[in-house]
Structure 1
Amino acid sequence: MQSPSTPSSTPRPEQADASTWKSDLVSGFLVFLIALPLCLGIAMASGFPPVSGILTAVVGGVLASWLGSARLTIKGPAAGLIVIALGAVQELGQGDNALGYRRALATLAVAAAVQIVFALLRAGTLGDFFPSSVVHGMLAAIGVIICSKQIHTLLGVAPKAKEPLALLGEIPQSVGRMNPEIALIGVISLVLLFGHMALSKKVALLKRVPAPLLVLVVAVPLGLYFDLDHEHTFTFSDHLYSVGPNFLVNLPGNLLSAVTFPDFSAVASGASIKYIVMFSLVGSIESLLSAKAVDMLDPQKRRSDLDKDLLATGVGNLVAGLIGGLPMISEIVRSSANIGYGAKSRLSNFFHGLFLLLFVTFAPMLIHRIPLAALAAMLIFTGVRLASPSEFVKTFRIGLEQLTIFSFTLVVTLATDLLVGVAAGIVLKLVVHVLNGAPIGGLFRPVIEEHQNGDSVVLRVRHAAVFSNYLKLKKQISKHAQAKHVELDLEHARLVDHTVMERLHELEDEFSRSGRHLRIRGLDQHRGLSPHPLAARKKLSNGTPVGA
């Protein structure tokens, strides 16, 4: 069987790269235009110097692209790790952000070593373990946290609160105290981003124009018009406001002076270990899920070796952590754009990193002209997409229990932190499974009966097929890589959860692409917990369908 971790039979990477470099050059340049402002904004929102985001993207493109990274993914800093990075800077620095930044780099370097170990242990399947509702709940919480912080920056106001819920509560005060010139830049940027998203669905030409580029084309001239380069005051509606360079991106004179080395003095502390775990786990999961999603978008339907991709991410993070960069992942938004712009191979990732390196080396003053409010608008746009109301609707359609787990993970994450939120979501998911009839003993170890006849295999699953035992089920299927026909009998499974339904659907597609056949049977006596085709399926112990 060809698993998500097994590359399909395609031309050798160097052959494909050599024949498609022109397409990759164009795509890399267009992605560079998207990545430049996002890297700056993510870095500043993370409590890191703005240039650290550029450093990470350069390492991710120029280095990681040659280490076996997934073909069409773009490596770089991601909004999904802002919360962890900022928490590390604030907690490890204890009021000294410069010290917190260097100590956060140390946790990133150690977490990168953990990711490398994950890759060597072939933990590329890690992304298959975590239930979809928990992962999406975590991402929605990250989106809310990003918006809660960046709305104040967009309005040109420094909030007093620090925690997400308190920051959300302070938004009305910030609206009342907003700086008109800064807020105008921010609001126009936000309108451009959402307007581009809506109109590009109707106007095909707009899809070729990166939305962040439109924002910069408008925001930079506005910053020049308002003379943000120089400290001064102005009066609006009988109120005095001040503006100046503090509302613009601040970059060092040259790239070498931006290199910062980590401080390992507190790396063994409890707080550091917490962030090492979060960087390594959350970063790995996000990166693996993104790489799998990008593979699904690949027009050639190629499959990446996720273990190699995780290795490339780990090595890239190690280098980034040692020179002052942010954590990197295979980033889904830039990767999707990369495919849309016609990328053919991993060369596009390399070119995107190379263009960033050249730009920040030879044109740093142009970056300095970018208003922070414009970057805040881009991050808010990203945050809204992560926590979009449509995500709640999609989850509800899959099942009420999925919405409950999704919402619970979101709320606990907002009230505590990512690790606690994800752990709480997983525990609730297990409790829901037990309430729906899954035996406790079968939650982590599936009972599988195997029958083989020539090139056909029948695997009969008893008790439960749920997210927590899916990896063992998948491993059992993988043992029969040479079988042309694999039949998975779920008739005797009391519960088949949404995560397993989703993963099996992906496996069916993979089997089909490799000329094999995976048949799933035995669900006719199960009733879905919602009408959604991938909803969880439950069966009463006496065989009577639920609701019958």
Structure 2
Amino acid sequence: MTSQLNYYLKHLHQDLPASIVVFLVALPLCLGVALASGAPLFSGIIAGLVGGILVSWASGSQLSVSGPAAGLTVIVFDAIETLGGFGGFLLSVVMAGGLQIMLGFLKAGVIGAFFPASVIKGMLAAIGVILIIKQTPHATGFDTSFEGDESYMQETAESSFFEFSEALEGITPGVTLVSIVALLILIVWDSGFIKQFKALKLIPGPLLAVIWGVSFNSLAMYFAPELVIGEKHLVSLPELGSTANFINQLRLPDFSYFSNPKVYSIAGTIAIIASLETLLSLEAVDKLDPHKRVAPTNRELKAQGLGNLISGLMGGLPITAVIVRSSANINAGGQTRIACFFHGVLLMVSVLFFAKYLNMIPLACLAAILLQTGFKLAKPALFVEFYRKGWNQFAPFVITVVAILLTDLLQGIAIGMACGFFFVLKANFHAAITLTQHGPHYLLRLHKDVSFLNKALLRKYLDEVPNDVELLIDGTKAQFIDLDIMETIADFLQAAADRNVAVEIQGFSVSCPTSSSGH
């Protein structure tokens, strides 16, 4: 216990600045996801609080940040409509949490290990591209929705590209100036020059970007009214002012919906999709973790389940581990779960007492932080790196990126997985059987498992063996040989005598189904 405490204290100087960055990124997204879900705005804040304060300690991951995810907005929106009330939907969230806890105890977290690195990196790159596309309207002052800030849903795909091009035309000068300078601050603060100074390293660049935005807007009111940023381009939070008002905002689920069968199907859908998004995010965070720590997946499912259970009971949206906030945490230098925990504490304190001041922050500053995060996730060097790794790695990577951009996160990953699986099969297919020649001697070698999928390749190689030669079929390295493969070899043996091909078999025996002779 003491060693753990010392570990957290040792990294406190890195975790506290990172928590501020995560808080600044999470705040508008919590509100935006709630807005896009057709749920009360405060439900997004509750989900963010539970994700930060509770799930950070229940989780086995040191860097993963949990909160409301835009990937679930369509499901949430439809569920509220279907059930005809937010109270019934909250009951679904509670039940989904219970299901996730069960999945954790059933050790279902193992499925996270079956996602290839090329697909995970493709997911990260796609999210990076999405962030750039979706944050450009905020950065230029063009009105846009929050819906695609972390996700890329089918109905927003076309409109997102449309908004992106429109955003470049409908520029608001004040907003654009704030975002450009904020980006420059972030780039300079991330450079090697600043990192030479220990004192400057302690100040997070994103905090400076926010201070710049608030200062600019305050000064513009007096010196350049035409550059003032309007309220619709600022953070918008409900002002509570006291703990009592906060408690009054909490909502209990409507337990009368227990008799409605739709509640159960919605709970199942939320549990499955939230679990998949969490496992994918966790896998991605492990890849980004500079210490290369591996988080226990089953514990994560239990932690997320507990989070959804509590969030639903308090009136919050469903929670998942969220890659955007997690990557912002890692980029800001977060080292332990303290960064995620304090982001939750900051959310609570800010909503309770400082909403008035937070509403002065231009969205352009937050857009700049996310644009930088997006670029780091989808930098051109990553595409070059995968291209150099060869087609087997590059194709699943690019197909995952394109598929996510054209569909949504889960569909895109499914397409990427199918592509990755195809290349794995193809590689194994060609590696399972080899044919080599040395003069009149041919060697057909069976490697490891040889399944019915290799039947066509086997026939091709056997057809290449000419008349009047010697053939050795070596199966000493094969752990498994399918019956179809045995029958194909048996058929070849029957015809071999007529072609004057002397066949010797090592490592296994073949019995011909149409004759009693064995080889």
Aligned ranges 1:182-201 → 2 under 5 Å: 182-199=175-192
Tell me, yes or no, if structure 1 residue 131 matches structure 2 residue 124.
Answer: no
Match of 1:216 in 2: 210
Partners of 1:103 and 1:266 within 8 A in 2: no
Q: 1-side partners of 2:184 and 2:253: how far apart? A: 39
Match of 1:311 in 2: 302
User: How many residues get paired?
Assistant: 417
Match of 1:247 in 2: 233
Q: Computing the radius of gyration over CA atoms, which structure comes out larger, 1 or 2? A: 2
Q: 2-side partners of 1:52 and 1:464: how far apart? A: 54
Match of 2:327 in 1: 333
- CA-CA distance at 1:305 after TM superposition: 4.1
Kindly report the root-mean-square deviation, in angstroms, between the aligned alpha carbons of the 2 structures. 4.2
What percent of counterpart residues are identical? 26
- CA-CA distance at 1:218 after TM superposition: 0.4
Q: 1-side partners of 2:478 and 2:191: how far apart? A: 47
Q: Per the alignment, in what secondary structure is the counterpart of residue 124 of structure 1?
A: helix
Structure 2 residue corresponding to 1:463, chosen from 427, 449, 460: 449
- CA-CA distance at 1:280 after TM superposition: 2.0
Match of 2:367 in 1: 376
- CA-CA distance at 1:115 after TM superposition: 2.7
Q: Per the alignment, in what secondary structure is the counterpart of residue 336 of structure 1?
A: helix
Letter in 2 for 1:31: A
Letter in 2 for 1:389: P
Q: Where does structure 1 lack aligned partners over 5 or more consecutive residues? A: 1-13, 237-241, 442-460, 466-489, 495-541, 543-548
Deviations 1:14-34 (CA, angstroms, capped at 9, x unpaired): 333444564465444323311
Tell me, yes or no, if structure 1 residue 33 matches structure 2 residue 14.
Answer: no
- CA-CA distance at 1:129 after TM superposition: 0.9
Q: 2-side partners of 1:100 and 1:129: how far apart? A: 38
- CA-CA distance at 1:407 after TM superposition: 1.4
Q: 1-side partners of 2:406 and 2:267: how far apart? A: 20
- CA-CA distance at 1:394 after TM superposition: 2.1
Letter in 1 for 2:448: R
Letter in 2 for 1:43: C
Q: 1-side partners of 2:311 and 2:365: how far apart? A: 26
Q: 1:336 to 1:417 in 2, by over 3 A?
A: closer
Aligned ranges 1:533-544 → 2 under 5 Å: none
Partners of 2:89 and 2:263 within 8 A in 1: no
Letter in 2 for 1:381: Q
Structure 2 residue corresponding to 1:147, chosen from 128, 132, 157: 132
Q: Per the alignment, in what secondary structure is the counterpart of residue 449 of structure 2?
A: strand
Match of 1:282 in 2: 277
- CA-CA distance at 1:103 after TM superposition: 8.1
Partners of 1:262 and 1:321 within 8 A in 2: yes
Q: 1-side partners of 2:272 and 2:298: how far apart? A: 19
Letter in 2 for 1:424: I
- CA-CA distance at 1:39 after TM superposition: 0.8
Q: 2-side partners of 1:493 and 1:382: how far apart? A: 47
Tell me, yes or no, if structure 1 residue 422 matches structure 2 residue 417.
Answer: no
Q: 1:387 to 1:347 in 2, by over 3 A?
A: closer
Match of 1:477 in 2: none
Q: 1-side partners of 2:369 and 2:295: how far apart? A: 30
Partners of 1:88 and 1:104 within 8 A in 2: no
Partners of 2:130 and 2:405 within 8 A in 1: yes
Deviations 1:77-135 (CA, angstroms, capped at 9, x unpaired): 38xx43x13434555567x9xx8988876665554334322211123333211112222
Letter in 1 for 2:319: P
Partners of 1:28 and 1:348 within 8 A in 2: yes
Letter in 1 for 2:399: F
- CA-CA distance at 1:412 after TM superposition: 2.0
Q: 1-side partners of 2:265 and 2:171: how far apart? A: 39
Q: Where does structure 2 lack aligned partners over 5 or more consecutive residues? A: 149-154, 241-245, 433-446, 452-475, 481-505, 507-519
- CA-CA distance at 1:213 after TM superposition: 0.6
Letter in 1 for 2:204: P
Deviations 1:436-456 (CA, angstroms, capped at 9, x unpaired): 343999xxxxxxxxxxxxxxx
Letter in 1 for 2:62: L
Letter in 2 for 1:37: L
Match of 2:101 in 1: 116
Q: 2-side partners of 1:93 and 1:129: how far apart? A: 33
Partners of 1:70 and 1:304 within 8 A in 2: yes
- CA-CA distance at 1:421 after TM superposition: 1.6
Letter in 1 for 2:174: E
Partners of 2:122 and 2:401 within 8 A in 1: yes
Partners of 1:134 and 1:422 within 8 A in 2: yes
- CA-CA distance at 1:153 after TM superposition: 1.9
Q: 1-side partners of 2:277 and 2:306: how far apart? A: 16
Letter in 1 for 2:63: T
Q: 1:257 to 1:439 in 2, by over 3 A?
A: farther
Partners of 1:189 and 1:219 within 8 A in 2: yes
- CA-CA distance at 1:178 after TM superposition: 1.6
Q: 1-side partners of 2:209 and 2:186: how far apart? A: 7
Structure 1 residue corresponding to 2:349, chosen from 354, 358, 372: 358
Deviations 1:375-422 (CA, angstroms, capped at 9, x unpaired): 222222222322222221222222222211111122222222222222
Q: 1-side partners of 2:185 and 2:90: how far apart? A: 35
Q: 1:349 to 1:418 in 2, by over 3 A?
A: closer
Q: Per the alignment, in what secondary structure is the counterpart of residue 125 of structure 1?
A: helix
Tell me, yes or no, if structure 1 residue 72 matches structure 2 residue 66.
Answer: no
Q: 1:115 to 1:19 in 2, by over 3 A?
A: same
Q: 2-side partners of 1:217 and 1:328: how far apart? A: 30
Q: 1:335 to 1:122 in 2, by over 3 A?
A: farther
Using the size of structure 2 for normalisation, the TM-score is 0.67
Query: Which one has a larger percent helix, Structure 1 or Structure 2?
Result: 2
Q: 1:349 to 1:373 in 2, by over 3 A?
A: closer
